[in-house]
């Protein structure tokens, strides 16, 4: 499968390495071609990884991942070319973080909309599925915890797209995936990211992930 990942940061590289390890072809996209972080990553993939602009990457991907600065994601989608997303499964890992000089980040939006909903609105013919946004990038691929595998949460409007993303999550080493509803559930999943950050700071440990206990 060809996977186009919009982004050149830790999330894009971590997901890119996971997809490459599973045998997929991956392109990382940036605002300009030749981004040094994306190029360094691609050079270490034995030819499975490549780089390009957001537009090259969106055109390349059969599945597309959104891994850009949360509040800049709709701009990145427009730079990528909205029609390149038509009919495709889009994995949305973004969070609309608002950074301040002090303390942990908060959400720039969240009560009446969410980044997931804004992203879906920007690409109405694509099938956006929120995933990977509720844990740190170091946990994305084959997470190992003494308490067993953590839970991943997904939401989105298209059942077929969620099924595809859940299959991908299983391949990434997430056997327990909870589908919590339509794309508007991004409001809760993006809030959960803030709880994850606050928990990690409270514990001085970023090797943390959520798990629901069941009985
Ligand atoms: N860090 C984590 O562990 C983690 C975990 C889960 C979810 N997330 C979420 O995943 C996303 C990516 O996080 P990250 O830490 O890897 O990277 P990041 O620093 O949040 O974002 C880097 C990417 O955003 C692009 N970007 C920045 N400003 C832009 C603008 N004005 N217009 C268009 N694109 C712009 C950059 O483009 P260039 O390539 O051109 O520089 C780069 O590709 C974020 O939404 C974050 O909240 C992060």
Point out the ligand 1 atom lying closest to the alpha carbon of residue 136: 3
Q: Is the CB of 17 under 6 A from ligand 1?
A: no
Ligand 1 pocket check for 53: Cβ under 6 Å: no
C-alpha atoms less than 13 angstroms from C-alpha of 149 in its C-beta half-sphere: 15
- For the CA of 68, the closest atom of ligand 1 is 24
Q: What tens digit of pLDDT does each residue of 46-71 get?
A: 999 999 999 999 999 999 999 999 99
| pLDDT tens track for 147-169 | 999 999 999 999 999 999 999 99
Nearest CA to ligand 1 atom 18: 69
Q: CB of 94 closer than 6 A to ligand 1?
A: yes
Edge to edge, what strands does the sheet with 89-92 contain? 49-53, 25-30, 2-6, 63-66, 89-92, 127-130, 151-156, 176-179
Q: Which pLDDT belongs to residue 19? A: 98
Q: What is the pLDDT of residue 44?
A: 97
Q: Determine the Cα–Cα distance for residues 156 and 169; give it in Å rounded to an integer.
A: 15
Average pLDDT over residues 181-188: 98
Q: Which two tokens stand for residue 96?
A: 């609309």
What digits encode the pLDDT tens for the residues 194-207? 999 999 999 999 99
What is d(CA 49, CA 117) in angstroms, rounded to the nearest whole number? 29
Provide mean pLDDT across the span 33-51.
Answer: 97
pLDDT grade for 101, boundaries at 50, 70 and 90 = confident
User: In this predicted structure, what is the pLDDT of residue 103?
Assistant: 87
Choice among 83-87, 103-107, 125-129 with the minimum mean pLDDT: 103-107
Summary mean pLDDT of the chain: 97
DSSP notation for 94-122? ---EE--SSSS-EESS-SS--HHHHHHHH
- In this structure, what DSSP letter does residue 84 have? G
Q: What is the pLDDT of residue 194?
A: 97
- Pick the closest to residue 75 from 119, 12, 37, 116 (CA basis): 119
Ligand 1 center to 206 CA (angstroms): 18
pLDDT tens digits, residue range 74-84?
999 999 999 99
Distance CA 80, CA 90 (A): 13
pTM: 0.98
> Which pLDDT score is estimated for 60?
98
With a pLDDT cut of 90, the percent of the chain lying above it is: 98
Mean pLDDT of 5-17: 98
Q: How confident is the model at residue 102 (pLDDT cuts 50, 70, 90)?
A: confident
Residue 197: how many CB atoms within 10 A of its CB? Answer: 17
Three-class SS of 34-53: CCHHHHHHHHCCCCCEEEEE
């Amino acid at each position: 499968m060809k996977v186009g990942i919009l982004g050149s940061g830790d999330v894009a590289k971590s997901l890119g390495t996971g997809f490459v390890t599973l045998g997929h072809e991956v392109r990382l996209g940036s605002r300009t071609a030749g981004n040094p972080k994306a190029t360094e990553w691609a050079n270490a993939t034995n030819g499975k990884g490549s780089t390009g602009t957001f537009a090259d990457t969106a055109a390349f991907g059969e599945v597309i991942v959104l891994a850009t600065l949360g509040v800049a994601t709709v701009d990145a989608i427009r730079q990528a070319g909205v029609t390149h997303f038509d009919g495709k499964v889009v994995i949305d890992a973004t969070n609309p973080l608002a950074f301040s000089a002090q303390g942990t980040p908060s959400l720039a939006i969240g009560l009446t909309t969410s980044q997931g909903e804004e992203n879906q609105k920007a690409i109405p013919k694509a099938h956006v599925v929120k995933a990977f946004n509720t844990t740190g990038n170091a946990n994305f691929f084959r997470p190992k915890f003494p308490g067993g595998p953590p839970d991943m949460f997904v939401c989105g409007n298209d059942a077929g797209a969620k099924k595809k993303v859940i299959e991908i999550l299983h391949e990434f080493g997430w056997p327990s995936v909870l589908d919590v509803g339509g794309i508007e559930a991004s409001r809760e999943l993006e809030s959960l990211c803030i709880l994850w950050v606050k928990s990690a700071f409270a514990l001085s440990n970023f090797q943390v992930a959520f798990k629901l206990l069941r009985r």
